[in-house]
């Protein structure tokens, strides 16, 4: 059985570091597509399929934020399931961005929900607040089905300073001790490229700490948010990589809404084909910028 | 507009402290109900409706754990939506136990998903790890629609010691600073009974700290897990109440599976009617035990 974290490492080697975030709000879709008599949820799925087809060779993986689908109710979750299935059908890897965190019995139910059946993904995101017994039930799926996870460690939003950044009497900050515990897990489930099945979410918005974090947590593969709309740049992201790998960098709005830039796109009748081309271009530019930043650091 | 937290306070006055947790796994349903040719998801919804009908006058509110529904895929989420709708139709209050916590843009989408449309609930549960900007977007729904939330503070699982219990250089433990920030929010949105629209999840498994927590966070209404299957008892729960109110105590398995106790129930052909009677009895016994513990403390 090939572990998904190994597959992701290899996808980064082959295609670069871009994780395309499919946080597809209806308002990101060209208006002409919404006038075709389809439901909003069906329009979201069609938009996603067009973007997936266009970005397969420039994206290491995809991340689907479930909130944008839940917002559309049951029909939205059907589009969510359809998006995950389409990515997997096309042979690509998908991260379900669900940030679950609950007691062990509940975590076991969640794991079955998101690693099997209608909502099967290759990876999930998890929240560590309740402790390691909320993380561990997911791990049995790493052993039996190669599944992986990214646990919130140091995120990219301003509020990260409220709790994640708190200094502990035992030394370090809260996010450090989360990283320490994840590193122990990773060491126990290390794949063929030296990364554990469970990695961490580490934002690229705090440049000065990146080197220390990367060095200390060498066995953790990082899911790196904060690029583009949240203020992070290629050089910040590169600081969280190791030997040019060890992380994927997520961008959502800058790719999903790439067709809107240029100003007159709305008026000139952009459709999914145009949007997919623009998304592909935005993802390729981002891929090249990160690769260049990695080269520069060497 | 009546704020849901005020309604919950009044429900506790009228009906006691029991929050019936509908973590309805298929294996908790009498086998005869599963042999009627219905789908597992439809059986879950029918079971919930029977239990809701039977417990309306002994339950302050209901809590629905979404993991148990996601486990059944899209059909399960239809049963989840149906369960929320049925509770609200019957005039009762429902907490969506979803423990969301994400960046502000995403939180706004989640809030729309769970406070409106197919998945509308009266309250949600939230996770604070990412900081207060992951909580605040939900608050606009308190102002416009009376909605409420319970934010994880000190939970009842063994893993709570991993992070929630960490002592901070700035004083107190991590859960204290979460409580402090929630108290600030609560003070800014206080209802007519002195509790804010946003309360906290505080487990009843650590008796020695209960009095200090209750006294310090007097403006926070508590959702109290850990009763029964997780080891907490009526006296532990009573220690987290204030003047006989200020909290609801959740029990799931001890109510959902009450029909199984007695040993021969499975063989003797228990059905939903029998299970609902057993659930009602278990909830009433729990209600009385907590009321008695409250009286004893006075």
Q: How far is it, in rounded angstroms, from Cα A130 to Cα B7? A: 29
| Residues paired with residue A168 on neighbouring β-strands, in sequence order | B168
- pLDDT-derived band at A71, boundaries 50, 70, 90: very high
pLDDT of residue B117: 95
> Is A100 within 8 Å of chain B by CB?
yes
pLDDT of residue B262: 67
Across the interface, which of B81, B103, B178 has its CB nearest the CB of A157? Answer: B103
Nearest CA in chain A to B71: A113
In A162-191, the residues whose Cβ lies within 8 Å of chain B are 162-164, 166-170, 174, 177-178, 181
Residues in A touching B76 (Cβ below 8 Å) = 113
Look at A102 and B106 and tell me if their CB atoms are within 8 Å: no
Number of domains within chain A:
1
Q: Domain range holding A250?
A: 4-297
Look at B169 and A169 and tell me if their CB atoms are within 8 Å: yes
pLDDT of residue A231: 67
> Is B103 within 8 Å of chain A by CB?
yes
Look at B73 and A161 and tell me if their CB atoms are within 8 Å: no
- pLDDT-derived band at A298, boundaries 50, 70, 90: confident
Evaluate whether A140 touches A111 at the Cβ level (below 8 Å).
yes
Evaluate whether A272 touches A266 at the Cβ level (below 8 Å).
no
Residues in A touching B168 (Cβ below 8 Å) = 166-169
Instruction: Please write down the HEC assignment for all residues of A19-42.
Output: EEECCCCHHHCCHHHHCCCCCHHH
Which one is catalytic: A99, A143, A147, A216? A99
> Is A39 within 8 Å of chain B by CB?
no
| Residues paired with residue A64 on neighbouring β-strands, in sequence order | A96
pLDDT of residue B133: 97
- Tell me, yes or no, if B99 is annotated catalytic: yes
pLDDT of residue B207: 77
Q: How far is it, in rounded angstroms, from Cα B274 to Cα B283? A: 14
Query: Which single residue is written with the structure tokens 């006691």?
Result: B16
Helix, strand, coil fractions of chain A, as percent rounded to 5: 50, 15, 30
- pLDDT-derived band at A81, boundaries 50, 70, 90: very high
pLDDT surpasses 70 at B57? yes
Whole-model pTM over 0.95: yes
Query: C-alpha B96: how far from its chain's center?
Result: 8
pLDDT surpasses 90 at B64? yes
What's the CATH code of the domain at A207? 3.20.20.70
> Is A161 within 8 Å of chain B by CB?
yes
Average pLDDT over residues B260-288: 86
Backbone angles phi, psi at B100, to 5 degrees: -80, 155
Q: What is the mean pLDDT of chain A?
A: 94
The alpha-helical segments, DSSP class H, found in B116-206 are: 136-145, 174-188
Average pLDDT over residues B104-125: 98
pLDDT of residue A177: 97
Structure tokens of A181?
């515990």
pLDDT surpasses 60 at A29? yes
């Amino acid at each position: 059985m090939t572990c998904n974290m190994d597959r992701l490492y290899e996808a980064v080697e082959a295609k670069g570091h871009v994780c395309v975030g499919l946080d597809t709000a209806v308002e990101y879709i060209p208006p002409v597509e919404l006038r075709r008599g389809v439901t909003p949820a069906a329009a979201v799925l069609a938009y996603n399929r067009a973007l997936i087809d266009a970005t397969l060779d420039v994206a290491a993986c995809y991340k689907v934020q479930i909130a944008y689908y839940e917002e559309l109710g049951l029909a939205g979750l059907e589009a969510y399931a359809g998006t995950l299935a389409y990515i997997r059908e096309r042979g690509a890897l998908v991260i379900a961005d669900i940030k679950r965190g609950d007691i062990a019995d509940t975590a076991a139910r969640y794991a079955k929900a998101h690693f099997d059946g209608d909502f099967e993904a290759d990876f999930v995101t998890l929240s560590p607040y309740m402790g390691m017994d909320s993380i561990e039930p997911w791990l049995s799926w790493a052993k039996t089905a190669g599944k992986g996870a990214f646990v919130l460690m140091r995120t990219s939003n301003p509020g990260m300073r409220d709790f994640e950044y708190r200094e502990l009497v035992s030394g370090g900050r809260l996010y450090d001790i989360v990283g320490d515990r994840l590193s122990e897990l990773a060491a126990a489930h290390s794949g063929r490229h030296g990364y554990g099945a469970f990695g961490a979410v580490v934002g690229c918005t705090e440049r000065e700490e990146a080197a220390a974090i990367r060095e200390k947590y060498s066995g953790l593969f990082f899911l790196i948010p904060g690029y583009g709309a949240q203020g992070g740049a290629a050089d910040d992201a590169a600081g969280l990589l190791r030997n040019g790998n060890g992380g994927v960098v997520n961008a959502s709005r800058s790719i999903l809404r790439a067709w809107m830039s240029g100003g007159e796109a709305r008026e000139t009748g952009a459709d999914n084909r145009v949007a997919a081309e623009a998304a592909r271009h935005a993802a390729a530019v981002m891929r090249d910028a990160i690769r260049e930043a990695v080269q520069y650091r060497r």
